[in-house]
Structure 1
Amino acid sequence: MALINKIREKSGIAVTVIAISLILFMVGGDLLGPNSMLGGNNNQVVGEIAGKEINIKDFQSRVDGFRQNYEAQSGRSLSENELVALRDQAWNQFIVDIAYRDQFDELGLTVTDEELVDMVQGNHISPSILQAFSDPTTGRFDKNAVVNYLKNLKTLPIEQQKSWENFEKSLREERIRSKYENLLKLSAYTPKAQAEKEYLAQNTKATLRYLYVPYFSIVDTTIKVTDSELEQYLSAHRSEYKGTDTRSIEYVTFPVQPAKDDSAALYTEIKELARGLATAPNDSAFASMNSDISLPVNMSLATMSDQLKEAIKTFVPGGVYGPYREGNTYFIYKYGGTKIDTVSSARASHILIRAENQSDSAKAAARVKAEGLLAQIRSGANFEALAATSSADPGSAQRGGDLGYFQNNGAMVKPFEEAVFSASAPGLIGKVVESQFGFHIIKVTAPKSNVLYRVAAIGKTIAPSQSTRDEAYRKADEFANSVKTKEQFNEAVKKDKGLVVATANRIPETATNVNAIQNGREIVRWAFKDDSKINSVSQVFETEEQYIVAVLTGKSDQDNVKVDDFRDELTTKVRNQKKSEQITAKLKGATGDLEAIAKKYGAGALVESATDITLATGFLSSAGFDPIALGKAFGLKAGQKSDVFTGENGVFIMEQINKTDAPKVADFTQYKTQLTQSLESRMSYLVNEAIRENAKIEDRRAKFF
């Protein structure tokens, strides 16, 4: 203010100029930003729920409230990922306040003040209160602690009072939603006819023989699929393919990697540290003070890197070893010998087979599938290959089922842990293990060990210098300025042998990462800009580890589904359709027994048997679970063969050898209970999906953040 007064004395014009500059500086983001009125976008609606528009200011106000509450409790600022999570929380709160509230009001559901008191300090304490006011040592809940807290609430800082107010609000919301879901659960009903059908599906047994020609028996490249055929298929199955707004890009990266000089300087430093570690009177304290990475002094095999696991076999107590390089970090270790721990470590791989739902029939089908895979492995099938193609655990499946090292401290579910830690030698566990996640086929790769290794470790990470970072940016900027189209982009990549083109397909508008690129939000926002056209090239994007230049290669539109949006999936469907026609034409009119028909067909035709299978748990050796084939087979009479028909993954001729009908029973209560409980267990999910669909939610947050 003193400065402005002084200027006012000198010149009225200067005051005007500076005042305008200050105003533009303070509100320029609001006036000139990408979502501003002067910036060409006066739409300040961040979304719409059940016909009600959510203004960006109202949305941001709620996010700010959550943020203040979080930072007051945690005592620190949010990370970017945490802020993204808080925005999701705020958005979901709007959905509850609007879409759910309509349902609550229509049914007259409320939570009274008396109920709230009962939840906080009465006879029906909320689980959230139990958790917040339990002794962390004993786990015992202390109601007096709640009462005393509330007595002193008005003496606490405003932030804490506001935090409690928000907490009580969440308790009300939790209770009213619980009432609503319980009301719907109580309305779940299974008719007797449906229970009887489930009983028959589980207990009627048949012995079958069948001829099966899988689609994969015909090489894909021999079946030509045209764009017009894909268009026809999509047109006929439009309801199966829901459109989404996505973008596809190709990009090149310019890594910010430490140069030779950066690495050499750190190598010299760590050699000096090795000498200090060798003579330090308190080696663990010395290591802790000088390491960029916090590492435990006592390590089990479960907590070691793969490189250290191998190296430590050669260590002698008292020796200093290294440096070992892992990525951009150098490690040195001082070895202090071993001791026995109360906790053991082991390493194992698994193949997880999950049931489709919680019904007994679905669980039985999953068990049959798991038993079948176990039998294949015993007969010589490759465990890792089967894990990659059959396991329902995507994280381990891509590593051949490997779970790495883990300890017997509850890191794994109890049945799995007991099976692994009861094994005394590496190898396949001879039975399928059931847990709450499904059925596990387990191979122990390193049996249990309770040895702890005392290691004082120093890890020093190579950081690129500013000159190294500047050089990487110069190359990226030079590349971006030299290309304007995808054709030029491709030509420039060909000339620079050090560049590798990566692809990211069908990126949603809300994505924060692009493939392995963390904090890739700016790339996503560029791809979704109206002026980003197909084949246009981006500016340089910066992340902590690299610079990126991208080219937009594809767009999909929620309201305009095109073949290219689902090309691979549609191609597989049409190709299999044509394979089915080809196989069926070759089998049509064939006579004789199944072996004779298979022989006449030639390579690719399989004849197999299935004994005492049911509709609920039927698993065909090569074809797997095929409900179409099972339905056809159970509809036959003993000794009857079906016509040629198409199943899930190939073409069949089914023959029923015999069928044993389920014994007559008068009471289907057990099966009625199973089906009802299965429906109740899915009720929360189904209710949430139904309410969201009915609310016709439009989420436009990605335009703003």
Structure 2
Amino acid sequence: MQVIQGIRDRAAWIISILIGVALIAFIVQDASVRGGSIFRNTTDIAVVNDVAISKTDFDNKVETIVQMQGAQAQREQLSASVYNMMVQQTILEQEYAKLGMQVTGKELSDILFGANPPQWLQQAFTDPNTGVFNAEMAKQQFAQMKKNSANPQVAAIVETYIEPTMQQALAMKYQAMIMQAVSVPKWMAEKINADNNSVANMQYVYVPYTTIADSTIKVTDADVDAYVKKHKAEFMREYETRTVSYVSFDANPTAADSAVVYSGLASLKSEFAAATDDKSFVAAKGSETNFLDAFVTSNNLKVPNADSIKNLAVGQVYGPYLDANNYTLAKMVAKRSMPDSVKVRHILVKTGQGGIADSVAKNRIDSIKNAVAAGANFNDLVKKYSDDPGSKDKAGEYEFASVGFANLSKEFAEVAFYGTTGDKKVVKVENSSYSGYHYIEVLSQKNTQAAYKIAYISKPILASTETVNAANDAATKFAGSSKDKKAFDDNAAKLNKFPMPTGDIQQNDFQVPGLGNNRAFVRWIYENKVGTVSEPTQFDGKYVVAIITSVSPAGLATAAAARPQAEMFIRNEKKAQQIIANKLKGSTLEAMAQAAGTSVQRADSVAFEAGFIPGVGAEPRVLGAAFNKTILNKVSTPIAGASGVFVVKPEAVGARAALASNIEDLRKRLADNTRNQVSYRSMEALRLAASIKDLRSDFY
């Protein structure tokens, strides 16, 4: 059918659009397909509010996106994104059902054929000659599709394009409902405006927490537990996490390994200099750097020892020298002058696939050349004869930088960069995109300078088998004698090694903090208990032996898990108690300052909206007291702030001179800010409220 063929014909363009929305386009699926059974299938990777997400569906979507994006290296990240989006889509579908939300046939028709149709549909049904979207033709073809809904190709289009469009429409409806619930009353805007223009003068006594040494304050597990219970929201863990400590054994290349690579390259130097076919020689020697049959201008030669290489005579070889993790030889193949950038114009008469016969094309390009010589308008000739869509609307003109020389066809590039301004030539090009005859004029060349064609042979500096085996043997010996934490720590100390702790590791992670990517190692961590010592595990440039040090279940954090985050705050609370009891004695600021060994300080014109005290920093509790009119000219009770204990005496609270504010504009800004927060927080709130069983670790 025409709609299928139209989409096929523009598949490359559509795929490029879909890359940006792939996580939506391939995740959407009818909830009825996923089913709502409460009985778990052994092939489910998640269950969201009793609705299963199948492993097959998940794998297919990940694989499709990987193929589309060519992103095999990012498969782990894509897998996590696909999982999150599938969970999100399942939750939203359930919300839509609760609210009775749907996209009606009329709404879908308006979306597809209205003033702003989806881009994929515009591309499929836009007249290439007029550039106008043909909505009527699209309607006719979709009406035909409805009659052939059993056709697998039609079903694929529905799943890939129509369903995501409907889901996007539902999501917009849902967000619109939430956004319409956001309102900022006038009184609130007026209050915020008044607060923002408030200023205060105050005197205060400030005793920093740093006046008491941390070493004098003991924080017990009971203290941490009590603090955690008072601040549950801050210490609630959604997922179980685990940590390990590890000792590493270096498997990076040694000096001897480096010397072997250096010597091997050095032995090629004279042979490289004598080679007559540099491209073949470089390939035969297994170089990490391919031969580039192009010149590089002087200011674009960004390699180590560039000046020494530039000074080589043609045929000479420099090196070996160090370039990142490689040793490299550089041979000067040729030198010439070349512009750094050029401007050309051309007309292409295409041959091969999509073009005309070679003899016809040759006659046409000769006629074009003669017409130009006779004074014909070049732009008119471009519009009439050129088969290059990229320059047809630009009078055939292109600008190229020399760094892009290798990306051009050799024949075209040599005319543009090796010729001179004013050159006019016809060349024949054979490649997949622009095969045919090109009439080329060189309009301008800029910044002509020395250019060099250089051949490189690069060899990576890799660890030898002996080096790798030595590291593995040392790690194996360590693991074999470290059967518990005491032995682990003692053996590490004997080797002058300090066990390194990792950050929190979740069950479905691929990355190990501080070490790198190793999914099998993460699985081992979750298959064993605290105190278990691992076998040697290879990471980049090292072998690692690890011991599981902690397990923090989901829910309220344990004292051990919470201590790093909570300890400073608990210590400050204890310091505040000591400061209040021992240093802030008396009924006046002066008496308290004297008792604390400090002085009374002033802060004038402190702005409420600034949120900080000049010279001190952010102290919201202290700032609140400064603007408390009920204690004007009175000494406050001691306030345990963020950086120390304060006693304040507000002297004046007033309003600073300010331009008259437009309350309605302020209301709008406040509402917009709130809507922005609601927009991204609403989904998170739904996710936290949902019952989600993450079963990925059963399979991956």
> Are 2:98 and 1:103 aligned?
no
- 2:460 equivalent to 1:477: no
Segments of structure 2 that go 5 or more residues without pairing to the other structure are 1-39, 342-448
d(CA) in 2 for partners of 1:278, 1:160: 62
Partner of 1:582: 578
Alignment-derived partner of residue 545 in structure 2:
549
Q: Give the alignment partner of residue 248 of structure 1, picking from 243, 255, 263.
A: 243
Q: Which amino acid aligns with 2:486?
A: E
Which residue of the partner structure matches residue 371 of structure 1? none
Q: Cα deviation per residue 1:557-586 (whole Å; 9 max; x = unaligned)?
A: 114632101112222122101111122224
- Aligned equivalent of 1:507: 505
CA contact (8 A) 2:507 2:697 kept: yes
Query: What displacement does 1:195 show?
Result: 1.0
Matching residue of 1:360:
none
Contact 1:513 1:520 in 2 (8 A): yes
* Residue 670 (1) aligns with residue 673 (2): no
Query: What letter matches 2:549 in structure 1?
Result: T
Q: Distance in 2 between matches of 1:481 and 1:339?
A: 64
Q: Which amino acid aligns with 1:554?
A: S
What is the Cα deviation at residue 555 of structure 1? 0.9
**Aligned equivalent of 1:179:** 173
How far the C-alpha of 1:89 sits from its partner, in A, is 0.9
Q: CA deviation at 1:486?
A: 2.0
* One-letter code aligned to 1:108: G
Q: Is the 8 A contact 2:43 2:54 kept in 1?
A: no
- The equivalent of 1:461 in structure 2 is 460
Distance in structure 2 (CA, Å) of the matches to 1:607 and 1:333: 72
For residue 118 of structure 2, what is the aligned residue in structure 1?
Answer: 126
Count of aligned residue pairs for this structure pair: 535
* Partner residue of 2:57 out of 40, 54, 62: 62
CA gap of 1:116–1:542, structure 2 versus 1, over 3 A, is: farther
SS in structure 1 opposite 2:514? coil
1:654 aligns with 648
Q: Check if 1:682 corresponds to 2:677.
A: yes
Residues 462/227 of structure 1: CA separation in 2 closer, same or farther (3 Å cut): same
**How far is the alpha carbon of 1:641 from its aligned partner?**
3.9
In the alignment, residue 485 of structure 1 is paired with which amino acid? D
Deviations 1:311-346 (A, max 9, x none): 55777544765544366322455798999979xxxx
For 1:293 and 1:239, locate their aligned partners in 2 and report how far apart those are by CA, in whole Å. Answer: 54
Task: Note if contact 1:317-1:337 (Cα within 8 Å) is conserved in structure 2.
Answer: no
Q: 1:85-119: per-residue Cα shift (whole Å, max 9, x none)?
A: 2353145224312x211221233322245544544
Change (3 A) 1:83 1:239: closer
Cα 1:337–1:316, aligned 2, differ >3 Å: closer, same or farther?
farther
**1:184-240 CA distance string (max 9 Å, x none):** 112210122221221012112223343322223322112222333333333444444
1-side partners of 2:188 and 2:603: how far apart? Answer: 26
Picking from 627, 632, 640, the partner of 2:625 is 632
Distance 2:301 2:107 in 1: 48
Distance 1:221 1:294 in 2: 60
2:259 counterpart of 1:264? yes
SS in 2 for 1:658: strand
Residue pair 1:633, 1:642 contacting (<8 A) in 2 also = no
Deviation at 1:285, TM superposition (A): 10
- Contact residue 512 and residue 518 of structure 2 kept, 8 A: yes
What code does the residue aligned with 1:483 have?
Answer: S
- How much does 1:286 deviate? 8.3
Seen in structure 2, the aligned counterparts of structure 1 residues 597 and 170 have a Cα distance that, compared at 3 Å, is same
Give distance in 2, aligned partners of 1:267 and 1:312.
19
Partner of 1:526: 524
Taking a change above 3 Å as real, the CA distance of residues 46 and 481 of structure 1, as seen in their structure-2 partners, is same
Q: What does residue 34 of structure 2 align with?
A: none
Report whether the alignment pairs 1:215 with 2:209.
yes
Residue 621, structure 1, aligned to residue 614, structure 2: yes
Q: Is the 8 A contact 1:299 1:455 kept in 2?
A: no
- Is 1:86 aligned with 2:79? yes
3-state DSSP of counterpart to 2:563: helix
Task: State the Cα distance separating 1:179 from its structure 2 match.
Answer: 1.6
Change (3 A) 1:454 1:490: farther
Q: What is the CA deviation profile of residues 659-694 of structure 1, one whole-angstrom value per residue up to 9, with x for unaligned ones?
A: 323689796212211210101111221210121122
1:333-391 CA-to-partner distances (Å, cap 9, x unmatched) read 5798999979xxxxxxxxxxxxxxxxxxxxxxxxxxxxxxxxxxxxxxxxxxxxxxxxx
Post-superposition shift, 1:592?
5.3
Is the 2:201–2:653 Cα contact (8 Å) retained in structure 1? yes
Residue aligning to 1:540: 536
Using structure 2 for the length normalisation, give the TM-score: 0.65
Corresponding position of 1:572:
568
Change (3 A) 1:67 1:577: closer
Question: For the structure 1 residues 168 and 555, does the alpha-carbon distance in structure 2 shift closer, same or farther, using more than 3 Å as the test?
Answer: same
Q: What CA distance in whole angstroms lies between the structure 1 residues aligned with 2:266 and 2:157?
A: 51
> Which residues in structure 2 correspond to 1:196-595 (within 5 Å)?
196-243=190-237, 244-258=239-253, 262-271=257-266, 291-292=287-288, 308=304, 317-318=311-312, 322-325=319-322, 328-332=325-329, 456=454, 459-466=458-465, 468-497=467-496, 501-529=499-527, 532-543=528-539, 545-559=541-555, 561-590=557-586
String of CA shifts for 1:492-515, please: whole Å, max 9, x gaps.
Answer: 333445x55321132222221112
Residue aligned with 2:247, SS: strand
Measure how far apart 1:593 and its partner are.
Answer: 5.3
Q: 1:643 aligns with which of 637, 662, 668?
A: 637
Provide the C-alpha distance between the structure 1 equivalents of 2:280 and 2:654, rounded to a whole number of angstroms.
Answer: 74
Q: 1:699 to 1:653 in 2, by over 3 A?
A: same
CA distance in 2, matches of 1:578, 1:527: 37
Contact 1:59–1:91, Cα closer than 8 Å, also in 2: no
Percent identity over the alignment is: 25
1:227/1:593 CA distance change after superposition, 3 Å: closer
Structure 1: stretches of 5+ with no match in the other structure: 1-40, 343-450
Query: Is contact 1:483-1:489 (8 Å) kept?
Result: yes
* Counterpart-to-counterpart distance in 2, 1:455 and 1:655: 77
Q: What is the Cα deviation at residue 284 of structure 1?
A: 10
Q: CA deviation at 1:645?
A: 1.4
Q: Distance in 1 between matches of 2:301 and 2:580?
A: 56
Displacement after TM superposition at 1:534 (Å): 1.5
Task: Say whether the 8 Å CA contact 1:45–1:53 is kept in structure 2.
Answer: no
Deviates more, 1:329-338 or 1:221-230: 329-338
Contact residue 200 and residue 607 of structure 2 kept, 8 A: yes
Partner AA of 2:688 in structure 1: E
Answer yes or no: is the 8 Å Cα contact 1:522–1:541 preserved in 2.
no
Q: Any conservation in 2 of the 1:587–1:644 contact (CA below 8 Å)?
A: no
Q: 1:500 to 1:579 in 2, by over 3 A?
A: closer
Q: Give the whole-Å Cα distance in 2 for the aligned partners of 1:215 and 1:591.
A: 22
Secondary structure (helix, strand or coil) at the match of 1:248 reads: strand
Residue pair 1:133, 1:141 contacting (<8 A) in 2 also: no
Tell me, what secondary structure is at the counterpart of 2:502?
strand
Aligned with 2:533: secondary structure? Answer: coil
| CA RMSD, 1 decimal | 4.5
The whole-number CA distance in structure 1 between the counterparts of 2:117 and 2:298 is 42
Q: Which structure would you say has the larger Rg?
A: 2
- Deviation sequence 1:527-579 (CA, Å, 0-9, x none): 111xx122111223334543322111111111463210111222212210111
Cα distance between partner residues in 2 of 1:476 and 1:166:
51
DSSP 3-state at the match of 1:81: helix
Query: Does the residue aligned with 1:682 lie in a helix, a strand or coil?
Result: helix
Which deviates more from structure 2 when the two are superposed, residues 171-180 or residues 318-327? 318-327
SS of the residue aligned with 2:520? Answer: helix
- CA pair 597-91 structure 1, distance change in 2 beyond 3 A: closer
Letter in 1 for 2:265: I
Letter in 1 for 2:518: G
One-letter identity of the residue aligned with 1:614? A
CA–CA separation in structure 2 for the residues paired with 1:163 and 1:269? 57
Are the aligned partners of 1:512 and 1:520 in contact in 2 as well (CA < 8 Å)?
Answer: yes
Instruction: Provide the residue aligned with 1:400 in structure 2.
Output: none
Do the aligned residues in 2 keep the contact of 1:324 with 1:331 (CA within 8 Å)?
yes
Alpha-carbon deviations, 1:160-180, whole Å to 9, x = none? 973773233222222211121
181 and 459 in structure 1: CA distance in 2 versus 1, 3 angstrom threshold: farther
